Amino acid sequence: MARPTREEARDTRRLILDAALELFAAGGFAGTSMRQIARAVGVRESALYHHFESKAAIFEAMVMELGPGKMRRFDELDLDASLAGGLEPLLRSFARLLMEESARPREQKFIRLMLAEAPRLKDAGVLHNPMLTGMTYLTGVFEALARRGAIRPGDPELHAVEFMGPLVMLRLTYLVLVEGAPDMERLFALVDAHVHHFHDSVKPKEGTC
């Protein structure tokens, strides 16, 4: 035994991170032991310490890998080009993308873990609440949209809250806090309805009364 041959070699670091995410999401950081992680991976505890200095180091590596805000997908976006297809389709595809991503098992577990360990995130070297970071970013987007007249003028933070609030809540109720398979059909129907409702309430007023 001891060191495995090249044929048997596996990416143990990867396996540790995957097993730890699974276990942390289900039992919490403190509720998961190095022993459980080792058992899930199929190695001894001491092998874990070869890859990570401590249990906290596993958590930190996980946050570093999955954490830094997925909100920046708008960054690669040329607002003017995207707006050519219309504001509502743009918002809808963003909202659907967010939900599809959140529905992925790894993301579901990670969001659950972040919510559960929120009070301890700072100790793990995560300076800012990911939710706040996302909101700050979206606020900037709505500011830009208002500047070019794509939406009617107003408090951009309010627009960010009105747009993201229902999405965050739908994600919580349908994806994060639910157990078993989520009702994706109902979820997407509500997402589309929300986008339509939101768009209706911010689109520039047209015509005269």
The residue ranges that bind a copy of itself (CB under 8 A) are: 25-32, 112, 115-120, 122, 129, 131-132, 135, 155, 157-158, 161-162, 164-170, 172-173, 176-179, 190, 193-194, 197, 200-201, 207, 209
Q: Pick from 51, 70, 96, 120: which binds DNA (CB under 7 A)?
A: 51
Report the C-alpha gap between 24 and 18 in whole angstroms. Answer: 10
Q: Is 47 one of the binding residues for DNA (CB under 7 A)?
A: yes
> In this structure, what is the dihedral angle of CA atoms 77, 79, 81, 83, given to the nearest 10 degrees?
120
Outline where the chain has alpha helix (H).
12-27, 34-41, 45-51, 55-66, 79-83, 87-103, 105-117, 130-147, 156-171, 184-202
Question: For residue 181, how many C-alpha atoms fall within 13 Å in the half-sphere facing its CB?
Answer: 4
Least distance CB 21 / a copy of itself (angstroms): 13
# binding residues, DNA (CB under 7 A):
28
97 contact, one of a copy of itself, DNA, none, CB 5-8 Å limit per kind: none
Nearer of residues 51 and 103 to a copy of itself, judged by Cβ: 103
Report the C-alpha gap between 65 and 112 in whole angstroms. Answer: 16
List contacts with DNA (CB under 7 A): 1-7, 9-10, 12, 32-36, 42-47, 49-51, 53-56
